[in-house]
Structure 1
Amino acid sequence: MVAEQVPAAVEEPTAEQDTLPAVEPEKDTVVEEVVEEPVPSIDLSSPELYINRHLSHLHFNIRVLEQALDERYPLLERLQFLLIFSSNLDEFFEIKVAELQRQVRFGREKVGPDGLQPHEVLRRIREMCHEQTKRQYEILNDTLIPQLQTENIRFLRRREWTKAQREWIREYFFNTLMPVMTPIGLDPAHPFPRLVNKSLNFIVALEGKDAFGRDSGMAIIPAPRSMPRLIRLPDELCRGGDNLVFLSSVIHAFADELFPGMEVLGCYQFRLTRNADLDFDSEEVDDLARALKGELQHRQFGQAVRLEVADNCPEDMIAFLLKEFGLGETELYKVNGPVNLTRMGAVRELVNRSELSYASFSPGLPKRLRDRKSMFETLRQRDLLLQHPFESFTPVVDLLREAARDPKVLAVKQTLYRTGNNSEIVAALIEAARNGKEVTAVIEIRARFDEENNLKLASLLQEAGVVVVYGVVGYKTHAKIMMIVRQEDNELRRYVHLGTGNYHQGTARVYTDYSLLTADQEVGEDVHKIFQQLTGMGKILRLSKVLNAPFSLHPKMVEFILREMRHAQAGKDAHIIIKVNSMTEPRLIRTLYRASQAGVKIDLIVRGMCSLRPGVPGVSENIRVRSIIGRFLEHSRVCYFLNDGASEIYAASADWMERNMLYRVETCFPMEPLRVAPRVKKDLDLYLEDNTQAWELQQDGSYVRVQMQEGEEPISAQQILLERLAAAAN
């Protein structure tokens, strides 16, 4: 499982929003009017009914860290969970903590539905992060490293080096490291260097004078960013097994070689985390791509937000660093181990121990695709639903590749949010353009941490003749849609892919997502209109089947919930199941509260942030919230409404957050009721039955791991889907 580099955007409003954005459609032409019920006696906007989104996000990361202690996972996978926690926490500080600090610093504190002031949220975050960071290193040092050592995977400390090993490491230092290192003595001519975000550095205490008579007593050693943080020792120098040395240990051991004639009194590693969000007003720029390029240059040198330092570093040197970075004691994290834990992920490449990792698998392929000659012919027969990563993403690529080479295909249009390097999707788009197709790519260049890649992608596609547009200013294009226009007999037919995930073949192997491939003409017409809105200009267009943000999606979800509430009030069975990554949008939460009060059974499967507070008497007794943390990152968004027996199921690219519902371009598409929908409902039921990887949200905002009851069989939704779909018929 990896952490989605999609965690939340700065433009997300933190204050409660009850209205749609300025582009809200006219209700009588686009979206059915939602008739509000009488205001309930309990104030459903009361702050006590909402969990702070940032604290909820931290609880998700804690659940990830807990997996490192779960002995049901292979040992190297447990290490990976610990490193994912570290990576997630880095991004949490870079984006969320940085934004809260900025609000406090400039006196512009925004209060969310939970009523907590940002300075109070920051205080609670610091308490939790200090506790969990300490715990993370305890798990690493006291549990994982000793267990890895029993498997003959050793991280050798300096005191453990043999004479032969030390000589080899010394040669490595002089021949590989030293030529690319730049130690910086601190004096008036060499002020404190501008250090890159999250880079590994060392502060060194010195004694003596150098060749120029300088004796400042202090220096900084930036570790070369191009060098690996883990080094494997040659097998012939070791007593068997896999023997690794940290780069930090090598620099510590030979730091004196960088300051000839001087005495190194101490060498201590540290790492600075900076604000990594991009800060520019897209409404005020003439060329979004050019402005973004300029801003990317500053990302590595944003405002300091956290200092991690070795716990044996002297207090005076720590005070010096804090003063240099403008940080206080509360932003200081003393750690007992490497400050850059994420880079330990290289251990999986340095050791060949497949028995300590997940068993490999091949994604499955539906029977009807195994002998097919044409994806177009297959989709004309009926829709195709794929569930990744259990089923292959290849059919999506195959459809696009076939379109690129088919003389009957006239046009291809696609949104691109994240694609990855060496993407077959991108290659197929380029091939289509070079084969004379009209190819349009809507690229979201503001996809966080993929901005630079997407700018390069845009240039690459433009050079091949693809028409590239950047969506709509002020609204990120987060929808995952692809449309192929094909001449068949005397008519044009549209073939469409809609997904809950990205067009990224790497994440398709580790994220759980749905892909719907269809030749349904109403869906095709809807997607055509969405592309018209993205690339052109004009009034809002009515859609037949597909819901879209920021127009119809939010009001329709409110309408569907209220419809379920009316069924319950009429004495009928009423049930809602929502599976999303995050749930923070206040109006949707209030509407769910009202449905619960009316007796609607509500099951929420929310992987990460959840601001809804379940189990509150008189408000949410009928709401259950669970989170699934496992081998794969739960990423699909699905909504189920019983609707008095005429059930409806939708899958979407959108989470139930303000940013997705009101400030992004998203799609939400229906599942065909006869064949596709029952399968999706069966999947949802499986997640609700999971008793091995599920956590339940408590009324106080904490999570408790679901325990198997006596006599129960273990149920892991992910494992069952893997066995059912991977490399098997469906």
Structure 2
Amino acid sequence: MGSEYMNRELSWLKFNERVLEEAEDKSVPLCERFTFVSIYQTNLDEFFMVRVGSLYDQTLLPQDIRDNKTQMSSQEQIDAILEEVRKLNKRKEKVYQKLIEKVAKEGVRLYRMDQIEDEKKMERFFQSEILPLISPTVVGRRQPFPFLKNNEIYAVVSLTTKSSKKVRLGIVPCASNIFQRMIEIPGEKGSYVLGEDLILHFVSKVFPGYKIQGKALIRVTRNADIDADALYDEDLDYREFMADLMKQRRKLAPIRLEMSGDLDIGSMLMLDNYLGLEEKYVFHSEVPLDFSFVFQIQDMLRKNESLFYEKRTPQKSLMFQDGRSIIEQIKEGDKLLSYPYESIRPFLRLLTEAAEDENVVSIKMTLYRLAKQSKVIEALIEAAENGKEVVVLVELRARFDEENNIEWSRRLENAGCQVIYGLDGYKVHSKLCLITRKTDKQFECITQIGTGNYNEKTSRLYTDLSLMTANTDIGIEAAKVFRALAKGEVVEDMQHLLVAPHCLQNRVLDMMDEEIEHAKKGEPAYIGIKMNSLTDKKIIDKLIEASCAGVKIEMIIRGICCLVAGVKGKTENIRIISIVGRFLEHSRIYMFGTKERRKYYIASADFMTRNTVKRVEVASPVYDPAIQEKLEYIFDTMNRDNQKAREMHEDGMYYRVHNDEEPLNSQERLYEDAYNR
């Protein structure tokens, strides 16, 4: 009998495999398949930087830390990861080679240097355009091994001289802002080589007087797992401390070495020794080490529409009317926006209107990730300049967005906003906005609760939900959340909102218990969940208990899922699907109970321990019947997807959904609905 638990890291790799499947899928337009190869690679980079880095740190501790679901040790998890990644990378290489062949037929040909017949013109180009810009290092007593930047490409050469047989290493940085990564072959329009291939091919010109014994391209990935809370000293300015921490992170220890080319064993050992890496962390590649250039290829082929997804534009929401106050419309009834199918504009209009409304006394908001040119920030600055009280919690620990957020926090402060920087020990990941108005001696609240970031760019690429309500009870509780945040505290008790860390997980477990009780009485019982990840063991165990009691459970989980569905006697009443398609599934919906007594929530929180008990997260009840129906329809449409859905089987593997129903791609269907409306 199979286990009902799956290891978190191996489950994540299964998700990245589903991303790779989209690159392999012939029904996906050619240039979009390139995007999925690139996403697979950048996902993997971050996985090594954060998750493998964290596991590696655990192996250095005296205590034996084990996964609480599968009991695998940190080292066992690393070994399983490395084995699985090698297999997946073989598939990545295969699909990349195929895509490069296909794209050549469309007029963009990318050659390796060993495929070029007339080397002379490339040599002349190298001598005149590249060589003068190169800064090589020969490692020796007076020249220490250089610092290799995270995820950048370098040429490594093993060198000897006529007088000495001793091998020395030469290092050449291949990343440059001065020359293009894709270099057009002189006189051959549409034919290219990559800059790093050109440098490696003519690297002997960089080291005259040396004999080249071997050469390769390498790329080092560094551990980025750094615990800000553990290092913070209260006497320091928090923002400056975070800025320093980001500089430190760039210098953390290597966790992976990727290479293409040939180095002798002695030089390889020398390189591993300098980097402090064991051989098992070295990955050999037959394809480029970084795929960011594929977007250049896409730009060259942009005119050929058949190579891309059909253009889709977020539509106007029918819930809002043009030319009328957004605030007045929300006061008439709750509103829901569904991204990317509907435009984020009504929410941006709400902020701008609040900034200009003389009755608005305050705007309070939590910010996690923002667009580069953020209209949200512009509206908040305008509100502060108009004399409103603007309180903004900017989470400086939003991983890989820290530097952006540090800059935004400075701008907000300079404009007169009150900026809070999160809480000790808890990241603030909630998507909460509270607008307070004072009219005729009475206060009104407009509250917005979302599943995704206040980011105009990702609202066109990620599926998310944004609820706007004038419900007084929800407004009062949102105000309570902001009061707690301002004091550096967390809320302990709520009637309507579910607020982690203290009143989300327990309330979810209570609602699951209610369903278990109904099932035990022989009554129909139901749980429906849509989210990105499921790792929280308390919730997983409760889902297993519910399944055993006979509760029908349907889950749409895009990424990590540590619960295995369909295991006899354990999870046979649970169905789990994952949808990986054109848009990144990011919205969270919780539903408890059969249709006539169902409770509906949208939330910023996945059911991961880090969300349920280690972050400030907010889930909001949905009371409006029309919006409940809309959530039901979204969930049902995705549940019936038989084009982009993969269903988990009891072996823990995911298989494409095949049935006799009419073909249904849920993302395309929801976009068509938005257009048809």
Using the size of structure 1 for normalisation, the TM-score is 0.88
Give the direction of change, closer, same or farther, for the CA distance of 1:539–1:656 in structure 2 (3 Å limit): closer
Per the TM alignment, residue 409 of structure 1 is displaced from its structure 2 partner at its CA by 1.5
Going from structure 1 to structure 2, the CA distance change for 1:193 and 1:678 (only over 3 Å counts) comes to same
Are 1:52 and 2:10 counterparts?
Answer: no
| More off after superposition, 439-448 vs 636-645 | 636-645
Letter in 1 for 2:509: V
CA distance in 2, matches of 1:101, 1:283: 19
Pick one of 115, 121, 137 that aligns with 2:93: 137
Question: Is the alpha carbon distance of 1:89 and 1:277 closer, same or farther for their aligned partners in structure 2, counting shifts above 3 Å?
Answer: same
Partner of 1:425: 376
Q: Does 1:184 align with 2:137?
A: yes
Q: Contact 2:2–2:651 at 8 Å: present in 1 too? A: no
Distance in 1 between the 2:320 and 2:133 partners?
53
**8 Å contact from structure 1 (residues 690, 717) kept in 2:** yes
Which one has more relative contact order, counting CA pairs under 8 Å at least 6 apart? 1
2:216 maps to which residue?
268
- Residue aligning to 2:84: 128
Deviations 1:334-379 (A, max 9, x none): 1002112344333223443433111222101123534232111111
Match of 1:684 in 2: 635
Q: Which residue of 1 aligns with 2:154?
A: 201
Letter in 2 for 1:682: Y
Question: What does residue 246 of structure 2 align with?
Answer: 296
**In structure 2, what is the equivalent of residue 174 of structure 1?**
128
Shift of 1:477: 0.3
The CA deviation at 1:263 is: 4.4
Tell me which amino acid in the other structure corresponds to 1:721: L
- Give 3-state SS (helix, strand or coil) of 2:262's partner: coil
Amino acid at match of 2:269: A
Tell me the residue number matched to 1:554: 505
C-alpha distance in structure 1 between counterparts of 2:489 and 2:309, whole Å: 51
Query: Would the aligned equivalents of 2:363 and 2:433 in 1 still touch at CA under 8 Å?
Result: yes
* 2:242 counterpart letter in structure 1: L
From the superposition, tell whether residues 395 and 243 of structure 1 become closer, same or farther in structure 2 (CA, over 3 Å). Answer: farther
State how far apart, in whole Å, the 2-side matches of 1:283 and 1:220 are: 34
Give the aligned partner of residue 665 of structure 2.
716
**Unmatched 5+ stretches in structure 1:** 1-45
Code of the aligned partner of 1:718: Q
State whether residues 499 and 653 of structure 1, in contact with CA within 8 Å, keep that contact through their aligned partners in structure 2.
yes
2:52 aligned to which of 75, 97, 104: 97
Deviates more, 1:290-299 or 1:683-692: 290-299
**How much does 1:421 deviate?**
1.0
1:644/1:400 CA distance change after superposition, 3 Å: closer
State the partner residue of 1:246: 194
Deviation at 1:262, TM superposition (A): 3.9
Task: After superposition, give the CA deviation of every residue in 1:436-466 in whole Å (9 maximum; x if it has no partner).
Answer: 1111110100000011111111111111111
Q: Helix, strand or coil: the match of 1:679?
A: helix
Contact 1:203 1:220 in 2 (8 A): yes
Residue matched to 1:452: 403
Confirm or deny: 8 A CA contact 2:2 2:650 kept in the other structure: no
Check the 8 A contact 1:87/1:342 in 2, yes or no: no
Deviations 1:681-701 (A, max 9, x none): 111111111111111112222
CA apart distance, 1:542: 4.1
Name the SS of the counterpart of 2:227 in structure 1: coil
Q: Given the superposition, is the C-alpha separation of residues 529 and 166 from structure 1 closer, same or farther in structure 2, using an over 3 Å criterion?
A: farther
1:315-354 mapped onto 2 (5 Å cutoff) = 315-352=265-302, 353-354=304-305
CA distance in 2, matches of 1:644, 1:419: 37
**CA spacing shift, 1:138–1:220, aligned 2, 3 Å:** same
Cα 1:366–1:298, aligned 2, differ >3 Å: closer, same or farther?
A: same
Q: Which residue of 2 aligns with 1:544?
A: 495
Between the aligned partners of 1:275 and 1:332, the Cα distance in structure 2 is 15
Q: CA deviation digits over 1:245-280, x for unaligned, max 9?
A: 211122123323322344445431011111012234
1:104 counterpart letter in structure 2: T
The structural deviation recorded for 1:320 is 2.0
CA–CA distance in structure 2, aligned partners of residues 71 and 488 of structure 1: 59
- Taking the aligned partners of 2:225 and 2:296, their CA distance within structure 1 comes to 26
Q: How many angstroms apart in 1 are the aligned matches of 2:586 and 2:527?
A: 19
**What is the aligned counterpart of 2:570 among 619, 628, 635?**
619
Aligned match of 1:255: 203
User: Given that residues 232 and 350 in structure 1 are in contact (C-alpha distance below 8 angstroms), is that contact kept between their aligned partners in structure 2?
Assistant: no
SS of residue paired to 2:607: coil
Where structure 2 has 5 or more consecutive residues not aligned to the other structure, the ranges are: none
One-letter amino acid of the structure 2 residue matched with residue 299 of structure 1: R
The answer for the alignment partner of 1:667 in structure 2 is 618
- Tell me the residue number matched to 2:645: 694
Please give the alpha-carbon distance, in whole angstroms, between the structure 1 residues aligned to 2:233 and 2:5: 37
**Contact 2:362–2:389 (CA under 8 A) maintained in structure 1:** yes
Among candidates 223, 226, 237, match of residue 278 of structure 1? 226
Identity over the aligned pairs, expressed in percent?
34
CA contact (8 A) 1:485 1:494 kept: yes
- Distance in structure 1 (CA, Å) of the matches to 2:180 and 2:583: 26
Distance 1:373 1:673, change over 3 A: closer
Give, in whole Å, the separation in 1 of the partners of 2:496 and 2:179.
Answer: 51
Structure 1 residue aligned with 2:64: 109
Aligned amino acid, residue 194 of structure 2: F
Could you tell me how far 1:109 is from its partner in structure 2? 3.3
CA distance in 1, matches of 2:433, 2:123: 53
- Match status 1:649 vs 2:581: no
| 1:494 to 2:445 alignment | yes
Residue 655 of structure 1 aligns with an amino acid whose one-letter code is: D
Alpha-carbon distance, 1:510 to partner:
0.7
**Match among 37, 42, 47 for residue 87 of structure 1:** 42
1:132 Cα offset (Å): 1.0
1: distance between equivalents of 2:570 and 2:620?
30
Count how many residue pairs are aligned between Structure 1 and Structure 2. 673
Identify if the C-alpha distance between structure 1 residues 53 and 409 changes in structure 2 by more than 3 Å, giving closer, same or farther.
Answer: same
- For the structure 1 residues 82 and 228, does the alpha-carbon distance in structure 2 shift closer, same or farther, using more than 3 Å as the test? farther
Opposite residue 187 of structure 1, the aligned amino acid is: G
Contact 1:365 1:728 in 2 (8 A): no
* Cα offset, 1:317, TM superposition: 2.4
Alignment of 1:591-606 (within 5 A): 591-606=542-557
Distance between the aligned counterparts of 1:424 and 1:446, measured in 2? 22
Residue 207 of structure 1 contacts residue 217 of structure 1 at CA under 8 Å; is this kept in 2?
A: yes
Segment of structure 1 superposing worse, 50-59 or 698-707: 698-707
Q: Secondary structure at the match of 1:460?
A: helix
> Cα gap change, 1:722/1:216 in structure 2, threshold over 3 Å: closer, same or farther?
same
* Superposition misfits of 4+ residues, deviation over 6 angstroms: none
**Distance in 1 between the 2:27 and 2:658 partners?**
14
Q: Is the 8 A contact 1:86 1:342 kept in 2?
A: no
Any conservation in 2 of the 1:187–1:216 contact (CA below 8 Å)? no
2:51–2:225 contact (8 Å) kept in structure 1: no
RMSD: 2.3
Q: Which sits farther off after the overlay, 368-377 or 70-79?
A: 368-377
> Which one-letter code corresponds to 1:276 in the other structure?
A
Contact 1:529–1:541 (Cα < 8 Å) also in 2: no
Asked whether the equivalents of residues 158 and 167 of structure 2 are also in contact (C-alpha less than 8 Å), the reply is no
Q: What residue is the counterpart of 1:388 in the other structure? A: 339
CA displacement 1:212-244 (0-9 Å, x = unmatched): x9985431111234356632528x8225xx333
2:534–2:562: 8 Å Cα contact kept in structure 1?
yes
Q: CA deviation at 1:117?
A: 1.3
- Report SS of the residue matched to 1:301: coil
Q: Which string of whole-angstrom CA distances, capped at 9 and with x for unpartnered residues, describes residues 295-338 of structure 1? A: 21121221111111114333332222122212222111110021
Q: Is the 8 A contact 1:400 1:429 kept in 2?
A: yes
Report if aligned partners of 1:511, 1:632 keep a CA contact under 8 Å in 2: yes
